[in-house]
Each structure stands twice: as structure tokens, then as C-alpha cells.
Amino acid sequence: MTVSVPGPTLGVVGGGQLGRMLAEAASPLGVDVVVLDPTPDCPASTVADQIVGAFDDPDAMAELAARADVLTFEIELADPDLLDELAAEEGIEVHPSPDALRTIEDKLIQKDTFGEAGIPIPPFHRVDDAADLRAALDEFGSVMLKARTGGYDGRGNVPVTDPDDAEAAIEEVGGPAMAEAFVDFERELSVIGVRGDDEIRTFPVGENVHEAEILRETIVPARTTDDVRDEADRVAREVLSHLPGRGVFGIELFETSEGEVLVNEVAPRPHNSGHWTIEGALSSQFEQHVRAVLGWPLGATDRRAPTVMANVLGTVDEPRAARLGGLDDLLSESGVSLHWYGKEQVRPLRKMGHLTAVGDTDHEVLLSRARELRDGLHFE
């Protein structure tokens, strides 16, 4: 491996906020970024070149490959078969591997893969019809019915406790599904892991606070015991060892009431629960992803100080043009940073940005400060 700057061009399938932050992290490294996204003037377009096209458009994907030295993706809607074809026809590397995307994009295949590898996961059942769902309810008592593909931020997830609701739940999910037993968990955790060339690194374990199945805050380090944090890191590294290719992976976990750590879901890309790393760690998850997919040496993953990340969600009833107000207190606060994603329209509960509070102080003080400043924002 020979590293020099200016560096290569990175092609990214997806130009949302993750693509935007990837491009922001790539620029200081001398790496140019081109993104492919179907939305004109997507969030990443202000900091990267954009090709406007669908994620499964062969011509648009071929143009992306022609302009890039390495391909990656920031959204699971990327087509792994098309990525494989481009790798073969254009002689271009794709990271993480399309095989990793195939494993992760279907939640049933993901759980089957981890279960066969002996990685701790909640009990689950494949669900093709209402009879399958009733069988899962009979065994588990209550379940979370999950769409096998496409679900995120609570979409595609339906809690079910009554067998009489089976048909309605199947209809709401709208396709192939799996039923996962409800986990009696103490807290939700996550580990941002990085696979490089013959090296794996992990960021400190974070604690995630969800409401209505949407991430609201991430607290680092997680408010749990050293033993649980060590086990979460061990499980995350085991997950990484079974996913091919280089790059960043977001690994969501449950800490049970008995202190066990179970894998919930994995994302083959930078993850919302890793946004704290921009200010809170020696190198961000986005810089690490750029380094990893290019085959460059990885950076340090140590945290700088206790950190809290709080999402800024759309606090509106109806979609409208996005204009954020109430910023004076946030921008005046020492140790607090704002990240605005550049989305033109705000919608109910849409992720519009985040803030990060960093300081050598108590977790609860940081969390309270982050929530107060976030809740003081409003859409005009």
C-alpha cells in the first residue's frame, strides 16, 4: 500500500447525511468524493460532486464507477448484484463487500448467519404468513415483527402480542418478515467497528436512548459495568470477523437484565449512533470509513472525553421548508457542536441534524445539557 495526497476519488452510493459527513471527512485527507443519489441537490451535493440517478440504475452506477477509484455505499438500498458486476467489469474495488451487504440487508439472513456462527442473538422465527406469526407468539409470548428488508427508524417494525392481530400485522409489514422475541433489556448499546487491511478497531461502547424506535441520544461511555462494556466489544469484534470487506459497521446490541449482550441489528456503513465520534473521538467514524475502504492505515478510536449526541428531529405536524431557529443558546455553549444535514424539507420526526456535547463532567450533566439545548430548537 502506497499512500499519497492528493488521494484517490471515492464513489459513494447514497448522498444523504452520511454521504455528506463522509465527504467532509475525506476532504482533509485529500480524497475527492462523488455520490450517486436520486434526489437532486441531495445533502452531500454541497460538499461532493453528485450524479443524479437511482441506486439500481446501471448507467448511473457505471458513471459512478468510471469516475471513482474505489466504491462504497452509505445506504442499504445499494444493489449488491450491480456492485459485483461493476467490480468485475470495471476492475474497481467495492467495500464493504457486496456479500456483506447481502448478509445484512435481509434481517432473516443476518440473524441466520450470526446464529450459525454462535454469536448471541434473540430467538427468532421466519414469518411467511399469519400461521407462522401465531406459532412465534405461541413460543415467545410476544414478538417484534420485522420486515426482512427496507425497515429503519421504526419503519417495518410492528409489536405483536395478540394472535388475533396476526393478519393485520402481516399486512402492515407488507412483505416477507421475521418475528423476534421481545428482549427484557436494561439498555440498548452500540459499537462502531472498523475493518481495515488485516486490522479491526472498535470505538468505545455507546448507550442509545430510543423513543418510538427512533434514536434520540447516544451516551459515551455507556452507563453500564466494565464487564458489560468488555462483552459488548467482544461480541462486536466477533460480528466483524464474519462480515467480508473493509469499512465501518454499526453494531446495535441489547444488554439484558441478566447482563447478557445480544446482537440486535448491524448496518454495513457509518451509523447514527456513531456521530458522537466527530467531536468525541480522536478520529471520526467517517474518517475511519474513508481510510478503511481505501485500504489506508486506520486511525485511533480512543474517546477524547465523555460525550453525548442528540438527534435533531422534525418537530412539525406537516412537511414544510426546513428552517431551524432557536440556535443562540446552543451556539453560545462551550463544548457543544451543531451538525445540520442540509435537507430542504422537514417532515415529522425526520432526522435533520444532531448536536454533540463533550466535556470532562458527569454523564447526567452532559445528557441534561444536550437535551435542553436540543429541545430549545424549533422549525420556523
Q: Which residues are annotated as a binding site for ATP?
A: 107, 146, 180-183, 188, 210, 264-265
Distance of CA 39 to the CA centre of its chain: 20
Nearest-angstrom CA–CA distance, 304 and 195: 22
Task: Single out the residue of 159, 184, 161, 185 nearest to residue 173, CA to CA.
Answer: 159
Burial class (CB in 10 A: 0-12, 13-18, 19+), 63: middle
Place of cell 466483524: 240
Q: Tell whether omega for the bond before 80 is within 30 degrees of 0, i.e. cis.
A: no
- Binding residue numbers: 107, 146, 180-183, 188, 210, 264-265
DSSP-assigned beta bridge partners for residue 146:
157, 178
For 342, the grid coordinates are 442540509
Residues 29/290, Cβ–Cβ less than 8 Å: yes
DSSP H or E run through 293: helix 285-294
Residue 182's alpha-carbon distances to 11, 160, 166, in angstroms, are 39, 10, 16
Residue 171, Cβ neighbours under 10 Å: how many?
A: 10
Q: Which residues contact 288 (CB under 8 A, 6 or more apart)?
A: 194, 201, 248, 277, 298, 299, 301
